[in-house]
Amino acid sequence: MEMGFAEHVLDAVDIETLLKCDTEADARRMVIEWLKSLGLNDVDVVFLEHTPVGTRVRARAYLYRPGDRYPWLSRKDGARAEGGSVACEG
Amino acid sequence: MKAKKRVLLVPLDPVHDVGLKMIRKALDSAGHWTMLLPPDTPPEEAVQQAIENEVTEVLVGRTVSYEVAEVLGKFVDLAEAAGLRENARLVVGGMAMRPELAAELGFDAGFGPDTTVEEVVAFVEGRRHNPEQASTKRPKIRITEGYSYRFRDPTVEKLAGILAERCITWAQERTSPAVRRALYRRQLLELAREAEESGSTKAAQLERARADLYEQYLSLCDEQVVRAYRKEGLPRMVRELSAAEVRDLRRYVERCDEGVRPRSIRHCRERPAIFVQYGTGCPFMDIAHIKVSEAWGADGVVHFDPSWGARTEGLFEGHLTHQGDGSIISPENLRIISSSLSPSTLWQVRAHRGLNTPETVLLAAEVGADLTKVNMAYGCLGGGTDPERMVVDGVETIKIAARYGLPFDVVTNEELCGVPAYKAFASMLVVVAIALRLGGKPLLQPLFCRSPDVMVRGYMDDNYVDYNLAKLEVLKHIIHAPIWPGAPVGFLTHTQDRVQSSVSTALHAALAGRAGATAVTIASSDEAYSGGPISVASRVDTLRAVAEAFRFYGSSAVDASDRARNWAAELYDGIVRTLRAAQKEGFVASLYKGVFGSREDGAYPGRAGKGTVQQK
């Protein structure tokens, strides 16, 4: 079975975008909620810069933290890895 | 020998033909026949020239992106109709090109904007492009080569020398648990070698000797280390990596090393060596960081150990991972990291601040480290170790490093606590003088940082260049030795914005390079992010940024401004003043009394290991 996207990720997925929202808190809440809606639970905002025009935001979802069992480590060509502690559905 | 080709180069573009000119030059050098048409040649004329000259390849270039499909499609149609394709291959390349588009339009090959000249030449010659052969090999940098280690300034040489002599004499009369453990560790390593060589003939005898040595070793260790050795449990958040994980790791490294293209990001400079720091907590995640860093052009990597490990008497054994900053130093962890490194990668294992300094350097040297890090002043003023203990351990460590020919940087991170640069430099120069007397090869490590002292005094209110250059100027004036700004450069200038962080790192690294530094340590773009582990991708950010900065500045130099020279003079006066102030008490007492950094500055003599030094 082919490995899924999440099993190829070394550690984390970052998303960067520019949101149109009223406050910094809104931007933070929205991006976190969106990541969680994707099934990503270990999430955080790395960087946020709010202006009246828009909010530049970079958020991160850790799929594997140091010390986890990493699927990419045990990958065999074309085979799904065993173990892992994937924090998302990916 | 390959048959010579006849190549027509056709810029089907209003003005751009530089790429084709470069390719033509390479093809001419390789002995092929070439003809380059002028830009904006009509497709009909290009096809006619190709047929008349009986070419084997037509290389079409297109940079501008409008009407790409129309112009190139027309060319292919004309070539088909004229029978050109029967004898010639049609190739297209340029900024507007993608391989998929080329295939769609009917070309035999297409090359995009990242293509190298070597790739196109290889295609023309019908051979597989081998980037390993085509690119410059990245040799391991000999980091201390070319330095005389002579003091240029007699005043500093004399003052630092007196302190060094007294310190060595003082330390020679003392020992510590770490010094003794290093001795036991050495004997254990020798026993292991003997057991390997003798096979089973002396196995029982050697096993008894090993068990005895372990008992003596453990008698000098903290309880948690003893419990781990006796298999009674590991510290919280620590786990042993399984044999299957170790096996998988080795395969992962093999996969990483297949076809990796050695890359230098220093452009035309041989130095500085670009180092990155790792220490995710997990040696296997560290290795992933290392392989990525190597692939993106890092020359060296620096092992960070956990701060709690530095305050623990004794080293653990096994492949150990833990959830927290810094990766545990054990013989197995160091061995597997060492075996994962590319041959050209410089590897530094830090040993500068804790209770296992001599043993760490011994192990690091035994498993193949290229460098270590020692500074007794920082170890006790900023690293939390008792000064007396740190100096006894540090002197022994320098002896071990010298025995193995292991150079080490003398870091001045106490500046981050608030210690003014001149005081940190004064103690660094004493350690350098100690090292030179013991046969060591030290590297000076000034910080390129916006330190608390810099902020208070406004040294960088205008720019980050002058004061950093002043630091290099004064050190170059004092001694001819390698200088390795760190660690990492740009400390306290970074923000959580990865663009800002990467640019700041790149500019600091380029400044160091232009000012003649031997090496430089850079952060990831996650440097200022404290919400989680450093991500692998953030390493690529700064390595890419540094590459671009080095490309931008090339071999150009930078001169110190008048302001930088004035600050260099002030730093020099401060260094001499500090060294004079330390003469009465000596090096160790001066560390306690704040001569090299006081409580008012923000430096506090550490307490770890206090009372453990014994007279021999």
pLDDT digits (tens, 9 = 90+) for B486-532: 889 999 999 999 999 999 999 999 999 999 999 999 999 999 999 99
Domain presence at residue B230: no
Share above pLDDT 90 across residues of chain B, in percent, rounded to a whole number:
77
Q: Which residues contact B584 (CB under 8 A, 6 or more apart)?
A: none
Chain B residues with CB within 8 Å of chain A CB: 237, 239, 244-245, 248-249, 252, 280-282, 284-285, 288, 292, 321-323, 495-498, 526, 529, 531-533, 535-537
Beta-bridged to residue B258, according to DSSP, are: none
Residue B323's pLDDT band, with cuts at 50, 70 and 90, is: confident
Interface membership of A8 toward B (CB under 8 Å): no
* Beta strands at B238-240 and B320-322: parallel, antiparallel or unpaired: antiparallel
Q: Is residue B82 part of a domain?
A: yes
Say if B13 falls within a structural domain. Answer: yes
Give A-chain residues touching B531 at CB under 8 angstroms.
Answer: 44-46, 60
Reported as a pLDDT band with limits 50, 70 and 90, residue B163 is very high
Least trusted range by pLDDT, from A2-6, A25-29, B88-92, B603-607: A2-6
| pLDDT, position A18 | 97
Residue B416, both tokens: 């981050």
CATH number at residue A87: 3.30.30.60
* pLDDT at B131 > cutoff 70: no
Provide the residue type at B158 as one letter: K
pLDDT of residue B2: 61
Mean pLDDT on B455-466: 96
Domain that holds residue B86: 6-134
* Residue numbers in A near B283 (CB within 8 A): none
Say yes or no to pLDDT of A87 above 50: no
Confidence of residue B203 (pLDDT cuts 50, 70, 90): confident
**What's residue B72's pLDDT?**
87
Q: How far is residue B360's CA from residue B385's CA, in Å, rounded to a whole number? A: 15
Residue B249 lies in a domain: no
Exposed/middle/buried for residue B262 (C-beta within 10 Å: 0-12, 13-18, 19+): middle
B338: which 2 tokens? 């060492």
- Six token digits for residue B367: 């498993």
Confidence of residue A86 (pLDDT cuts 50, 70, 90): very low
Question: Least CB-CB distance to A66: which of B244, B526, B533?
Answer: B533
With a cut of 0.90, is the ipTM above it? no
Q: Mutate which of B256, B282, B502, B503 to disrupt the A interface (most A C-beta within 10 Å)?
A: B282
Name the nearest CA neighbour of B530 among A36, A45, A42, A41. Answer: A45
Interface touch A73/B249, C-beta < 8 Å: yes
- The domain containing residue A69 runs over which residues? 1-90
**Is B32 contained in some domain?**
yes
Residue B419 lies in a domain: no
A21 interfacial to chain B (CB closer than 8 Å) = no
Q: Are B537 and A62 within 8 A, CB to CB?
A: no
Distances (CA, A) of B353 to A83, B427, B587: 37, 15, 17
- B263-298 burial, b for 16+ CB within 10 Å, e for fewer? bbbbbebebbbbbbbbbbbbbbbbbbbbbbbbbbbb
Please indicate whether, in this complex, the C-beta atoms of B284 and A69 are within 8 angstroms of each other.
Answer: no
- B114 within a domain of the structure (yes/no): yes
From B579, B503, B584, select the one nearest B151 (Cα to Cα).
B579
How would residue A78 be classed by pLDDT, with cut points 50, 70 and 90?
very low
Angstrom distance (rounded) from CA B95 to CA B111: 9
**Token pair for B394:** 């540090």
In percent, how much of chain B has pLDDT > 70?
Answer: 98
Enter the DSSP assignment of B372: E
Among candidates B239, B248, B535 on the partner chain, residue whose Cβ is nearest the Cβ of A74? B248
CB proximity under 8 Å: A 51-90 to B: 58, 60, 62, 64-70, 72-75
Query: Phi and psi dihedrals of A62, rounded to 5?
Result: -80, 125
Maximal CA-CA distance, chain A: 49
8-state DSSP, B464? S
Residue B134 has pLDDT above 50, yes or no: no
Residue of A nearest to B529 (CA): A46
Average pLDDT over residues B262-271: 86
**B546-555 per-position pLDDT tens digit:** 999 999 999 9
Q: Are B603 and B419 in contact (CB under 8 A)?
A: yes
Work out the burial of residue B604: count CB atoms within 10 Å of its CB; fewer than 13 is exposed, 13-18 middle, 19 or more buried: middle
Is the predicted pLDDT of residue B68 greater than 60, yes or no?
yes
Question: Which chain A residues are within 8 Å of B495, Cβ to Cβ?
Answer: 47
Chain A closest CA to B355's CA: distance in Å? 25
Q: What is the 3-state secondary structure (H, E, C) of B486-499?
A: EEEEEECCCCCCHH
All residues of chain B having their beta carbon less than 8 Å from the beta carbon of residue A44 are 531-532
Q: Does residue B133 carry a pLDDT above 60? A: no
**How far apart are the CA of B573 and the nearest CA of chain A, in angstroms?**
42
Which candidate from A47, A67, A70 shows the least CB-CB separation from B498? A47
SS3 of residue B220 by DSSP: coil
B10 within a domain of the structure (yes/no): yes
Determine, for residues A10 and B284 on separate chains, whether the beta-carbon distance falls below 8 Å: no
The total domain count for chain A is 1
The yes-or-no verdict on residue B416 having pLDDT over 90 is yes
Write down the residue that tokens 């290229």 correspond to. B370
Average pLDDT, chain B: 93
**Parallel, antiparallel, or unpaired: how do β-strands B371-373 and B238-240 relate?**
unpaired
Q: Phi and psi dihedrals of B9, rounded to 5?
A: -110, 125
Q: Identify the CATH number of the domain in which residue B20 sits.
A: 3.40.50.280
How many domains is chain B partitioned into structurally?
A: 1
Nearest Cβ partner for B281 among A62, A66, A73 = A66
B412-423 mean pLDDT? 95
Residue of chain A with shortest Cα separation from B254: A73
Query: Residue B456 pLDDT > 50, yes or no?
Result: yes
B31 backbone φψ class: left, alpha, beta (φ>0; ψ -120 to 50)? left
